[in-house]
């Protein structure tokens, strides 16, 4: 079935045809066209829901729990380490006057907190790096709902471990156990892979960029609410009660996915999880460029790799710098409290909504690549301001400049999705989920190591470094867009 035929099919029918093609690709090739048609017809289409229920609530609830617990766990780590080192957290000497030399004990607390963040994230994301591609590609055959339910249950189990540590005041090293258990179930990256695969199944090429942006806007809205609630709640009642909400939210997301989300592919009861087929599908996609590269050749395959590289760099910067905002704001000269930290995180997550609005407006007059470049410029400007921010006003100015920073990721996801056939979407998003897990791993390692190493000469150097790195994907996206326009112009003149 060619692309012109696919665009004429209704969404529910497109799901059945796509899933049939996915399942058929895992079986031996048919001898003739009649066998293929019989096999496709024999596949029972998934049940269609009479109301427009989708995966946005699952992602909303999962992101809410993640954003609620991330700054709280960092602050808990810092408080426990301060208690162990005998640092009382007094800020009158270092926070009232930015010219005062920082307390060496405070710097040691910051360094140990950053290192423990690194160890905990390394444990979780290194396990998830192996599990996520299995789950993502497996969902092509077993259905999308399993990779929406299992990771949420894993995150709920992580919250249980964190609660036990807080109740019993166990060593903070037990946080690592919770992260590993979450990583074994796919962690939040598997939820992202399932949600974006579901959107690719249920959208056409024209609307895909905006549908992906809507899904990412759910990340921002839930993150903004969780940030405001978390800061106020932690100040009023401490750490334990908010983590009970984290547990309840993850369980609610798993329950919603199991009861209300209808399958976008037809589940195959013979599908196996532990098989090399899933990794081979990802390798075949990137080694050959996919089925749709037959006409584009080497240039098509290079675009697939280069857009993946851009996605890797952008998400690495986003995830790595996000982990440092709380530490940067807690210590001198800013010395923010829980309420200001909550407002700062909310301002950052508000950029998801402003990016969605900006993307919709810019798409009226700009191509997706130029939208991505505007988004990167917004991100770079904000990071440069963060690198020199020594007042609350300047810090919020940086958050304001980043109001379009999230518009680049839906563009890159959409471009990658459009480079492959509908029957290869599962393998693509499995690889994207794998890359995203690697982004969290590399971002956590690089930024949590670079931040304490550069405190002695420039506290905000890490943000300046991030701004410089973002120039690389900006150059790649701009170059590829110019090459595409030149090829299109050449084809138009020769025809």
Identify the weakest region by mean pLDDT among 63-67, 349-353, 469-473, 490-494.
Answer: 490-494
Average of per-residue pLDDT across 59-79: 89
- If one compares 492 and 90, the residue with the highest pLDDT of the two is 492
Q: Is residue 340 pLDDT above 50, yes or no?
A: yes
In angstroms, rounded to a whole number, what is the distance separating the alpha carbons of residues 439 and 159? 23
**Alpha-carbon distance values, 351 to 59, 112, 232, 404 (Å):** 17, 30, 21, 6
Q: Counting beta carbons within 10 angstroms of the beta carbon of residue 52, is it exposed (0 to 12), middle (13 to 18) or buried (19 or more)?
A: exposed
Q: Can you tell me whether residue 170 is helix, strand or coil?
A: coil
- DSSP class of 403: T
Asked whether residue 314 carries a pLDDT value surpassing 90, the answer given is: yes
pLDDT value at residue 17: 38
What's the average model confidence in pLDDT over 203-224? 83
**pLDDT by residue (tens digit) across 170-185?**
988 899 999 999 989 9
7 pLDDT tier (thresholds 50, 70, 90): very low
Q: For the segment 76-102, what is each residue's pLDDT rounded down to a tens digit?
A: 888 888 888 887 765 444 555 445 556
pLDDT at 291 over 50: yes
Please tell me the pTM assigned to this model: 0.72
| Selection from 305, 357, 265 nearest residue 43 by Cα | 265
Longest dimension (CA), the chain: 81
Per-residue confidence (pLDDT) for residue 1, from 0 to 100: 39
pLDDT for the residue 39: 39
pLDDT tier at 20 (50, 70, 90 boundaries)?
very low
End-to-end CA distance of the chain: 26
For residue 59, what pLDDT is reported? 92
> Residues 15, 23: contact at Cβ < 8 Å?
no
Q: How many helices (H) and strands (E) does the chain have?
A: 20, 0
Q: Is pLDDT of 200 > 90?
A: no
Of the spans 209-223, 261-275, 303-317, which averages the highest pLDDT? 303-317
* Least confident stretch, 20-34, 172-186, 395-409, 461-475: 20-34
Q: Which of 138-142, 191-195, 270-274, 395-399 has the lowest mean pLDDT?
A: 270-274
User: In this model, does residue 489 exceed pLDDT 50?
Assistant: yes
Q: Cβ distance 64 to 242 under 8 Å?
A: no
Which H or E run contains 20?
A: helix 11-25
pLDDT digits (tens, 9 = 90+) for 219-264: 878 877 887 788 778 878 888 999 999 999 999 999 999 988 888 7
393: number of Cβ within 10 Å: 8
The whole-number pLDDT of residue 172 equals 87
User: Residues 143-156: what's their mean pLDDT?
Assistant: 91
- Residue 40: predicted pLDDT: 39
Q: Which residue has the tokens 């410089």?
A: 468
pLDDT value for 405: 92
The overall average pLDDT reported for the chain is 80
| pLDDT greater than 70 at residue 45 | no
The model's pLDDT over 439-476, given as tens digits with 9 standing for 90+, comes to: 877 888 899 889 989 988 898 999 999 999 999 999 99
Q: Of 188-202, 292-306, 402-416, 465-479, which range is least confident? A: 292-306
> Is pLDDT above 70 for 47?
no
Which domains does the chain carry? 49-87+101-266+291-494 (1.20.1250.20)
Q: Please, which pLDDT band fits residue 433 given cuts at 50, 70 and 90?
A: confident
**What would the mean pLDDT of 258-286 be, rounded to a whole number?**
77
Nearest-angstrom CA–CA distance, 217 and 52 = 18
So what's the pLDDT on residue 487?
83
Q: Which residue has the higher pLDDT, 349 or 401?
A: 401
Q: How confident is the model at residue 27, as a pLDDT? A: 38
Asked whether residue 35 carries a pLDDT value surpassing 80, the answer given is: no
Percent of residues, the chain, with pLDDT higher than 90: 30
């Amino acid at each position: 079935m060619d692309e012109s035929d696919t665009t004429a099919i209704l969404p529910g029918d497109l799901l059945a045809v796509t899933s049939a093609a996915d399942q058929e690709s895992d079986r031996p090739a048919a001898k003739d066209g009649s066998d293929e048609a019989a096999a496709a017809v024999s596949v029972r289409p998934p049940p269609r829901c009479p109301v427009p229920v989708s995966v946005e609530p699952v992602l909303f609830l999962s992101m809410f729990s993640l954003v609620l617990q991330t700054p709280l766990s960092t602050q808990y780590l810092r408080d426990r380490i301060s208690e162990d080192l005998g640092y009382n957290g007094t800020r009158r000497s270092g926070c009232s006057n930015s010219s005062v030399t920082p307390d060496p004990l405070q710097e040691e607390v910051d360094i140990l907190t950053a290192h423990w963040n690194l160890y905990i994230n390394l444990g979780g994301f290194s396990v998830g790096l192996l599990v996520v591609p299995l789950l993502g590609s497996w969902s092509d055959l077993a259905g999308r709902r399993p990779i929406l339910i299992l990771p949420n249950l894993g995150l709920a189990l992580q919250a249980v471990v964190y609660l036990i540590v807080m109740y019993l005041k166990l060593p903070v090293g037990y946080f690592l156990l919770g992260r590993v258990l979450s990583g074994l179930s796919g962690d939040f990256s598997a939820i992202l892979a399932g949600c974006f695969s579901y959107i690719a199944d249920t959208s056409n090429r024209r609307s895909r960029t905006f549908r992906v942006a809507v899904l990412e806007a759910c990340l921002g809205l839930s993150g903004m609410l969780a940030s405001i609630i978390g800061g106020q709640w932690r100040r009023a009642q401490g750490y334990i009660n908010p983590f009970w909400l984290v547990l309840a939210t993850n369980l609610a997301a798993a329950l919603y996915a199991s009861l209300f989300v209808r399958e976008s592919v037809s589940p195959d009861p013979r599908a196996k999880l532990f098989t090399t087929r899933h990794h081979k599908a990802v390798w075949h996609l990137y080694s050959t460029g996919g089925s749709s590269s037959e006409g584009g050749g080497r240039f098509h395959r290079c675009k697939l790799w280069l857009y993946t590289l851009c996605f890797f760099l952008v998400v690495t910067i986003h995830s790595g710098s996000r982990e440092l905002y709380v530490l940067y704001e807690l210590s001198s000269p800013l010395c923010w409290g829980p309420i200001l930290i909550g407002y700062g995180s909310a301002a950052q997550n508000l950029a998801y909504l402003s990016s969605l609005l900006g993307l919709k407006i810019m798409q009226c007059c700009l191509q997706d690549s130029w939208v991505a470049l505007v988004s990167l410029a917004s991100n770079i400007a904000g990071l440069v301001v963060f690198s020199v921010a020594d007042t609350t006003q300047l810090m919020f100015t940086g958050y304001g400049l980043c109001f379009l920073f999230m518009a680049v990721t839906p563009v890159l996801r959409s471009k990658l999705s459009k480079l492959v056939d509908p029957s290869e979407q599962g393998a693509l998003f499995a690889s994207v989920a794998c890359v995203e897990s690697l982004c969290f791993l590399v971002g956590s390692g690089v930024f949590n190591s670079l931040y304490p190493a550069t405190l002695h000469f420039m506290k905000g150097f890490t943000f300046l470094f991030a701004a410089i790195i973002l120039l690389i994907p900006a150059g790649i996206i701009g170059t590829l867009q110019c090459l595409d326009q030149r090829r299109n112009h050449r084809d138009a003149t020769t025809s």
